[in-house]
Amino acid sequence: MDINRPKLSFNCIGDASRVQLHRKQQLIAEITEMIHVASLIHDDILDDAKTRRGVGSLNFVVGNKLAVLAGDFLLFRALGALASLKNTEVVSLLVTAFDNLVTGETMQMAATVEQRCSMEYYMQKTYYKTASLVSNSCKAMALLSDQTPEVATLAFEYGKNLGLAYQFIDDILDFTGTSASLGKGSLSDIRQGIVTAPILFAMEEFPQLKAVIEQGFDNFANIDTALEYLWKSHGIQRTKELATKHANLAAAAIDSLPESSSLDVWKSRQALINLTQILTTRNK
């Protein structure tokens, strides 16, 4: 038994306010999920994906035109729900996330060879593309609950590091997973010429990889060459270490939250910390 585990739960706010707060927080979660799904629908169009989560992707099943509209529809539903919260700071945070999603996707699509081979550029793009939505949504949760700026910053740090860790593992699985295990195409990044952390780390050991990236991956032989270098390198292992580092930073943000004697709070924090473990050990 954990001796630090609190045994008492104190009711700090009234039941009515608690229900109202819970409803608002749930709405933020729903809005975040709508933005996320909309971004995936649009992403599958841009990536010409055939599958998503083990089934045909929307663009594949109904065509690009209807899929664009479905993504737009979800986005506007999300905006409507956001407006209903009547909290301009929360609106600002989620609008930043929208903005960053598009910026991240554009950075990925329009990068020069120098940018594609830069770890700094990859980290910035990864924050925009994946971690910004989680970090801003976590911060919005804290603000809606009238938490202090310090707690809001820790919530942001949790989301940012969790989002980064998630994407680094995703970038590994693109090389190590199968289409069946992932529920979406594997090797899709390199096929599209997208350079991710495993290749960037491999390039530090084998600088010859840069010339392969410059030539592009329209030529399938270059994909095989890049993969040969990757398997000879520590690229996958170093990306795993990077993901673990950020997962630990996310857990540390939770550990830094002000002490609480509530059992519910303790359980919630444990769940958030467990999530950092689940993300870094996932294989699909």
Using CB under 5 A as the criterion, which residues of the chain lie in contact with Mg ion when the complex forms? Answer: 43, 47
Q: Give yes or no for residue 98 binding ligand FPP (CB under 6 A).
A: yes
Shortest reach from residue 250's CB to ligand FPP, in Å = 18
Three-state helix/strand/coil letters over the chain:
CCCCCCCCCCCCCCHHHHHHHHHHHHHHHHHHHHHHHHHHHHHHHHCCCCEECCEECHHHHHCHHHHHHHHHHHHHHHHHHHHHCCCHHHHHHHHHHHHHHHHHHHHHHCCCHHHHCCHHHHHHHHHHHHHHHHHHHHHHHHHHCCCCHHHHHHHHHHHHHHHHHHHHHHHHHHHHCCHHHHCCCCCHHHHCCCCCHHHHHHHHHCCCHHHHHHHCCCCHHHHHHHHHHHHHCCHHHHHHHHHHHHHHHHHHHHHCCCCCCCHHHHHHHHHHHHHHHHHHHCCC
Q: Which stretch binds ligand FPP (CB under 6 A): 31-39, 223-231, 236-244, 272-280?
A: 31-39
Separation CA 83–CA 171 (nearest Å): 34
Q: Give yes or no for residue 109 binding ligand FPP (CB under 6 A).
A: no
Q: Give yes or no for residue 217 binding ligand FPP (CB under 6 A).
A: no
Among 28, 32, 34, 42, binds ligand FPP (CB under 6 A): 42
Shortest reach from residue 40's CB to ligand FPP, in Å = 6
Q: Which stretch binds ligand FPP (CB under 6 A): 36-44, 197-205, 227-235, 248-256?
A: 36-44
Q: Which stretch binds ligand FPP (CB under 6 A): 35-43, 201-209, 215-223, 240-248?
A: 35-43
Q: Give yes or no for residue 69 binding ligand FPP (CB under 6 A).
A: no
Among 34, 47, 154, 198, binds ligand FPP (CB under 6 A): 47
Looking at the Cβ atoms of 33 and 43, the one nearer to Mg ion is 43
Q: Give yes or no for residue 24 binding ligand FPP (CB under 6 A).
A: no
Looking at the Cβ atoms of 157 and 174, the one nearer to Mg ion is 174
Interacting residues with ligand FPP (CB under 6 A)? 35, 38-39, 42-43, 46-47, 49, 71, 75, 98, 101-102, 105, 129-130, 184, 188
